[in-house]
Structure 1
């Protein structure tokens, strides 16, 4: 008879060890299943099989610990059990109705057909609702910590309950309650690899979602294409300011900028470090490295969050690069998170090192009230509030709206969940309609309105919260000096293709509307650590 234990297995408990030890060393005949019925089987336990689910996930709130450490814990845990124990990793495959069958097939495949688990020869040990999937395909369940299925009463804390205890306790290593509940194998691995601090950082992070991303609505196919298409332009904009040595790219996406840098002969003696918090993008970076796509072998990737903590050692970096990242911190986190991010970058640079930050930018005097005139003849003006489940259908629908109608849809969707929507009035002057609003809110719409293929994600993001003067002030306060090469500019392609014939801005002076120039779209900020 086999015992099969599916789960994420971030921690193993003293209760689990004693429970399994009793099952192995005593007859299964009198043991009761989750429904209170005796097993009635005298066959001895031949082996224990651990299926570690979400084995391809690490650094996320649901799965903070990488598979190799979870496997090490299980092997250490199992050495005192008197039967063979096997560990198999099962990758996350999203929502799958027959995930239990899929997991069992993975065990059979990875064991080279040696372990053919079936209801006739296997008991599933599980105390969570995962049991329902296995019960539905004929397996009997041993309840472990679960005392009463109906009331969900437990004999002992579940492993994740102990993870929560550690997350809330900076001195968990000496906490008697935690030590009593943890199996010594987990205690050793968590302590030796400093997992407590790492897991605390991940689980307490206010920005990152459960599966390791800032936003759950991002279309990664579209996002990756955009990153690769503009990589060469980004690199050319920043290359002159890169200082050789240790070069970090925070929010490196799919590693496109690092790929360009690694092929630059001026940087051939440098080491390159890519930091990416989104699990999907981090996986792509590692795959590209395995494919040999980088021109320098000294390219390293890590899945970390640079907002809440340092990702490099103090005073260690010559150059740090970020692109299209700081506005996401402001959008999905808070102003305090952005200021913390700035200070972390200062701390990581050696004296004289540079932070190159390329991002969208807000206009100067952004709170000034202006008049915006939008094209009402380049699409449909009615029916702008329809909802769609399909991203592609929503994109097509939005593209059919006029610039004016799309603004109405924008004001309906933009920052709605954050309760941070823009305010405006419609005014008629000389028989023509104008939208009366803050300059920075007009710029917000102008910079966002054409991202229809990723609309739901973009509706969370603020682009124009700071002007370059605001950036200079906050960087000065952190100890940086902004280089003279730093500038805000209007991308000519964006102006020609997205502004001209679509949007005009005016200021009312002496009862006369005077047209304003297009707002800046981007900024390149070079900040040097000077003390």
Structure 2
């Protein structure tokens, strides 16, 4: 008879050890299942199996420990039991109704057939709703911490209760609750590898979701393709300013910029450090490294958040590169987060080091009122506010709207959850319709109007909060000197492929409309640490 314990196993408890030990020593004859029924099977326990779910996830609030650290703790935990303990990593496969069956198949496969768990030879220990999946397969479920299944009340602390206590405890290593409930095998691992401090950082971070992403609405397949397509252009722009040595790319996405930098002969002796907060993208970076896509072997990736603290040692970096990142901090975090991010980069650079930041930028005179002509004959104008649940169908619907109708939808959706109100009015002049709005809001729309594949995610983001002079001023306040090659410019490709024939901007002068050139879209800002 086997005991199977499925779970993420970020932490093991004293109760778990005592419970398992009692079952091994006394059998299950005096136990009841989660429904209060006596256990009929009283065979001797021969092995304990830990199914470690989300084994491919780490460095998130939900999964702060990588699999290898969980395995170290389980091994030490099992060494104190009188029967062998085995552990099997079960990768996250999203929400699937037959995850229990998948787990059992993985154990059978990974154990080379040694463990074929069935209801007749295995008792499952589980005290969370996951138990329902195993119950449906016919397994007997032992309740462990679960007191009442109808209310999901527990009679003792769950492992995650202890994780949350560590997250909020100033001195977690001496916390009485932690010491009372946490098993020494886990405590030693958490202490040795500084997991308590890591968890506290992750739980403090309001920007990142529990699974380690900035946003839960982004289609990463689209996002990755877009990043790869423009990587060469971005590297060409930044290459002349890169200082050899220790080079960091914060928000490295799938490592495309680093991949190109590794091929640069000037940088052959450099070390490259990719920092990515998104778990999904970080995993792709690691896969690319394993595939040998980086010609320089000294490439290292980490999943960290560069807002809440330093990601490199102070005064250690020769070059820091960021691209299309800083606007996301303003969008998903706060102004204080963005200012802290700027200061963090200054602290990390060695004297003479450079921070190269390529991102969107707001137009000069962004608060002035402009008249915006939008093409209303290049698509459908009926019902711009239609609600469509299917993502692909919604994207197709948006793409079919006229530019004018898409603005109406944008004005309603743009940062609605953040409480932003896009004020505009309409006017007809010489039988031509115009939108009256601030230049800032007009450019927010024009910069995003064609992002129909990722509309829901893009509606959270703001591009035009600072103009170029404001950006330079904030870097200077942090201590940077602005490199003279820094500039803000209008992306000609965007003008020619997305704006001409779709939108025109005007100012009202002396009672007449005066044409306004398309404003800047992009900045290339280089901060130097003296």
TM range (shorter): over 0.9
The question of whether the paired residues in 2 share the 8 Å contact of 1:73 and 1:189 is answered with: yes
1:308 aligns with 2:342: no
Write the distance in 2 (CA, Å) between the matches of 1:459 and 1:149.
41
Unpaired segments ≥5 residues, structure 2: none
SS of 2:345 mapped into structure 1: helix
SS of 2:169 mapped into structure 1: coil
Corresponding residue for 2:269? 269
Write the distance in 2 (CA, Å) between the matches of 1:279 and 1:295.
24
SS of 2:415 mapped into structure 1: coil
Corresponding residue for 2:281? 281
Please identify, of 506-515 and 93-102, the stretch whose mean Cα deviation from structure 2 is larger. Answer: 506-515
Please identify, of 418-427 and 82-91, the stretch whose mean Cα deviation from structure 2 is larger. Answer: 418-427
Which TM-score applies when normalising by structure 2? 0.98
Write the distance in 1 (CA, Å) between the matches of 2:205 and 2:493.
37
1:147 aligns with 2:142: no
Corresponding residue for 1:244? 244
The question of whether the paired residues in 1 share the 8 Å contact of 2:371 and 2:434 is answered with: yes
Write the distance in 1 (CA, Å) between the matches of 2:328 and 2:489.
20
Q: Could you give the per-residue CA deviations for residues 150-174 of structure 1, whole angstroms, max 9, x where no partner exists?
A: 2333221100010000000121011
Q: Could you give the per-residue CA deviations for residues 129-151 of structure 1, whole angstroms, max 9, x where no partner exists?
A: 11111111111111111122223
- Runs of 4+ in structure 1 off by over 6 angstroms are none
Q: Could you give the per-residue CA deviations for residues 331-371 of structure 1, whole angstroms, max 9, x where no partner exists?
A: 11111111111111111111111100000110012111111
Write the distance in 1 (CA, Å) between the matches of 2:233 and 2:377.
34
Corresponding residue for 1:200? 200
Write the distance in 2 (CA, Å) between the matches of 1:432 and 1:222.
36
The question of whether the paired residues in 1 share the 8 Å contact of 2:128 and 2:152 is answered with: no
Q: Could you give the per-residue CA deviations for residues 251-289 of structure 1, whole angstroms, max 9, x where no partner exists?
A: 000100000001100000100000111111111111111
Write the distance in 2 (CA, Å) between the matches of 1:147 and 1:396.
50
Write the distance in 1 (CA, Å) between the matches of 2:27 and 2:238.
69
SS of 2:373 mapped into structure 1: strand
The question of whether the paired residues in 2 share the 8 Å contact of 1:51 and 1:90 is answered with: yes
1:204: how far off? 2.1
The question of whether the paired residues in 2 share the 8 Å contact of 1:254 and 1:281 is answered with: yes
SS of 2:381 mapped into structure 1: coil
The question of whether the paired residues in 2 share the 8 Å contact of 1:54 and 1:90 is answered with: yes
Write the distance in 2 (CA, Å) between the matches of 1:121 and 1:249.
52
Q: Where in structure 2 are the equivalents of 1:376-391 lying within 5 Å?
A: 376-391=376-391
Corresponding residue for 2:350? 350
SS of 2:428 mapped into structure 1: strand
Which TM-score applies when normalising by structure 1? 0.98
SS of 2:307 mapped into structure 1: coil
Corresponding residue for 1:136? 136
1:326: how far off? 0.5
Q: How many residues in Structure 1 have an aligned counterpart in Structure 2?
A: 530
RMSD: 1.1
Unpaired segments ≥5 residues, structure 1: none
Corresponding residue for 2:227? 227
1:61: how far off? 2.1
SS of 2:371 mapped into structure 1: strand
1:396 aligns with 2:396: yes
SS of 1:230 mapped into structure 2: helix
Write the distance in 2 (CA, Å) between the matches of 1:43 and 1:519.
77
Q: Where in structure 2 are the equivalents of 1:438-453 lying within 5 Å?
A: 438-453=438-453
